[in-house]
């Protein structure tokens, strides 16, 4: 528990794209928080449904704001808009959330207490559980293998327990829920918007760690995550951005020997994927991967310009 009078401002942002029902549930979970000094900012990221109209009734003076980006900036650009808007209030901490999350009441208070006690922590998260299977951990942070340019989830080796007071040291976090110390941004900047969606965490957390900040996960609180609601785990866009952005990360973040190894691993595993997809009748994912590779080669970043719709 925080000490009386020690409740620094936390601005919590909820990024929404065509998912006002999920966003509403997320905001309602924030309002049930045990932490007393939270401001909520809903950021609508270019929704084409009636999200703005549906979310407007949630606005409540200075406590809950609604901001519109005007167009879809991707999860990266939308998160940056959310952070910039949050920083206007001069909070001590900024919490960024995807709309498809529900947080536990103790999440904010636990993260604030942990970061106040350890000033070298720059970013935190908590364990992320499946919304439909709340006893199963989906993510609790990742370790980074730069030789393969790939993050590996700790969830397969970490078991949930009650009560759980563990705080894990990790290399990077899943971007759907991140709790930042405000002063971190002065040193490392925001997310790289060329990524638009996916793999931006690799680049960002490399910068965070190189600047000397710690990245940790508190295992006591939790969020429930409705996995893949926005784009989907087997979609054309997921494989397009995953291909293009991972190659961008390899080129710009890794030294020569790691670049060679990471590219070799990447192209080798894509060949295996191509065979698997053809057998399963998913030639569209082969096309998505090739399009991502081609746009990487052409230095075409940001939002995908091709007209193929996500499946």
CATH number reported for the structural domain that contains residue 206 in this entry: 3.90.550.10
Q: What is the chain's alpha carbon radius of gyration, rounded to the nearest angstrom?
A: 19
Q: Examine the pLDDT at 184 and tell me if it is beyond 90.
A: yes
Mean of pLDDT values over 291-305: 95
Mean pLDDT of 150-175: 90
**40 shares its domain with 157:** yes
206 and 258 part of one domain: no
Joined tokens for residue 179: 């709790």
Mean pLDDT of 291-309: 85
- CA-CA distances (angstroms) from residue 117 to 113, 194, 249, 273? 6, 35, 33, 45
Q: Does residue 225 have a pLDDT over 50?
A: yes
- pTM of the predicted model as reported, rounded to 2 decimal places: 0.92
Do 37 and 158 sit in the same domain of this protein? yes
Count the domains in the chain.
2
Q: Are residues 209 and 279 in the same domain?
A: no
Task: Write the pLDDT tens digit of every residue in 70-116.
Answer: 999 999 999 999 999 999 999 999 999 999 999 999 999 999 999 99
């Amino acid at each position: 528990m925080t000490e009386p009078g020690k409740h620094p401002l936390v601005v919590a942002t909820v990024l929404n794209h065509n998912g006002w029902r999920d966003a509403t549930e997320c905001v309602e979970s924030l309002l049930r928080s045990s932490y007393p000094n939270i401001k909520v900012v809903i950021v609508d990221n270019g929704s084409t449904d009636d999200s703005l109209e549906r979310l407007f009734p949630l606005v409540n003076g200075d406590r809950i704001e609604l901001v519109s980006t005007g167009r879809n900036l991707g999860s990266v650009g939308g998160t940056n808009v959310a952070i910039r808007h949050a920083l206007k209030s001069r909070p001590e901490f900024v919490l960024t959330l995807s709309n498809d999350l529900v947080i536990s009441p103790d999440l904010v208070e636990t993260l604030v207490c942990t970061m106040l006690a350890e000033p070298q922590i720059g970013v935190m998260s908590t364990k992320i559980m499946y919304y439909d299977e709340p006893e199963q951990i989906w993510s609790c942070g990742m370790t980074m293998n730069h030789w393969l340019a790939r993050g590996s989830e700790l969830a397969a080796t970490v078991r949930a327990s009650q009560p759980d007071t563990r705080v894990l040291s990790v290399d990077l976090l899943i971007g759907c829920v991140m709790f930042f110390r405000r002063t971190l941004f002065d040193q490392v900047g925001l997310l790289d918007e060329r990524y638009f969606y996916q793999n931006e965490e690799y680049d960002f957390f490399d910068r965070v760690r190189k600047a000397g900040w710690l990245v940790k996960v508190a295992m006591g609180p939790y969020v429930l995550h409705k996995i893949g609601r926005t784009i989907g785990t087997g979609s054309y866009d997921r494989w397009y951005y995953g291909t293009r952005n991972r190659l961008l990360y390899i080129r710009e973040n890794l030294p020569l020997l790691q670049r060679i190894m990471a590219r070799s691993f990447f192209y080798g595993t894509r060949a295996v994927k191509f065979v698997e997809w053809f057998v399963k009748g998913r030639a569209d994912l082969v096309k998505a991967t090739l399009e991502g590779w081609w746009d990487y080669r052409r230095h075409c970043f940001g939002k995908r310009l091709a007209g193929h719709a996500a499946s």
